[in-house]
Structures are given as structure tokens and as C-alpha cells.
Amino acid sequence: MCGRFTLTRQNRRDLAQLLGVAEDDLRDYRPRYNIAPTDQHFIVTSKYERRTARAATWGLVNSWATDNSRASQCINARGETLEKRRAFREAFLKRRCVVPADGFYEWRGPKTQREPVWIHPADGGILLFAGLYES
């Protein structure tokens, strides 16, 4: 998974409709071109077929953590170890979400001259990353 992603949609109403959430859920939305670990973004959750967009910070801080210092290290989980790793187990079982994006960056080239490559749907569509969250 990526370390940086984007959500560049200009029209909040269209984005809300596309995600199936209330436009008011996105009242603080603004296009973002470089969302990094520990940045504010939002997630979409669902309860009884009702979707809600809610503010979130990228990086899982477990309920048992004493502070949020490891949040930037806990940004990606492997599907094959989700149920085994203490950091992700409970959230995987009880708190799943999607993270809206329209592209992400991967890096290419030698370590001293890395260049970002923006990977995105050719049709301008939305990506929904699988996510976990803690309250």
C-alpha cells in the first residue's frame, strides 16, 4: 500500500453523492493532493445500511496505546496477518471502514533520485481503500 494518496475532487456535493453520504458530513472537505501519515482526512463507515463520513487521522492508534507516537508507523496492514497481529485484530473484527481516494503515489528510481508516480483511475473514478479505525 502507498504512503501518500490524493482526493482531488472539486465538488463536495458530487463527492457526497458518489460516496452515498450526507453532504453535511463533508462540510470541512477540501481537495488534497498529498495526504500523508498522521494527516487529517475522513473515513466512511456504515451501520445498518446508512453510510457516514467522519473525520479521522491517518494512522491507527490502538485503544491500549499510552500515546499516539506510533501512529505514523501503523498505516498499512497485511490482509494475511490482520487477525494475528495485536495492533489490528480487534479493529479488524469490529471497526472496518473505507478511505476515499482518487489516486496514490508510488516511488521509482534509485534511492538518491526517487520520483513519485501518481497512480489513479483513467476515468477519474474513486478508489476506496479498505481501512480499520479506533475511536
Alpha carbons within 13 angstroms on the beta-carbon side of residue 46 total 10
pLDDT mean over 76-91? 77
Least confident of 50-54, 64-68, 88-92: 64-68
Domains and CATH numbers, the chain: 5-132 (3.90.1680.10)
Annotated active-site positions, please? Answer: 2, 106
Can you give the pLDDT at residue 64? 60
pLDDT mean over 47-62? 86
Q: For residue range 66-76, list pLDDT tens digits in order.
A: 555 555 556 67
- Name the band, by pLDDT with cuts 50, 70 and 90, for residue 51: very high
Can you give the pLDDT at residue 89? 79
pLDDT mean over 108-135? 92
